[in-house]
Amino acid sequence: MEDKVIVIFKRRSSDPGIDIEIPTDITAAELIYGLNQGLHLGINVDDPIHAYMRAENPIALIRGDVTIEELGIRNGSVIVMEE
């Protein structure tokens, strides 16, 4: 797999989204922390119940210590923040 992928990040499903390049060797928790800090999302990363996102294409729950590569996230995947 590639070292980086370009995904579409959306705060809500109905948003147009933005393209973000992310490395595939970071964990889901690191991705959530980085997006939260960089985009000021307001996610409480200290509470694992609320520190997650979901992906489309492939469908995945982005959470914990699993890497982006292990989740199967690839170019064109959509990551959505909303609960």
Q: Which helix (H) or strand (E) holds 36?
A: helix 28-39
2 pLDDT tier (thresholds 50, 70, 90): low
| pLDDT tens-place string over residues 22-34 | 999 999 999 999 9
| CATH numbers and ranges of domains, the chain | 4-80 (3.10.20.90)
Question: pTM of this prediction?
Answer: 0.90
* Max Cα distance, the chain (Å): 31
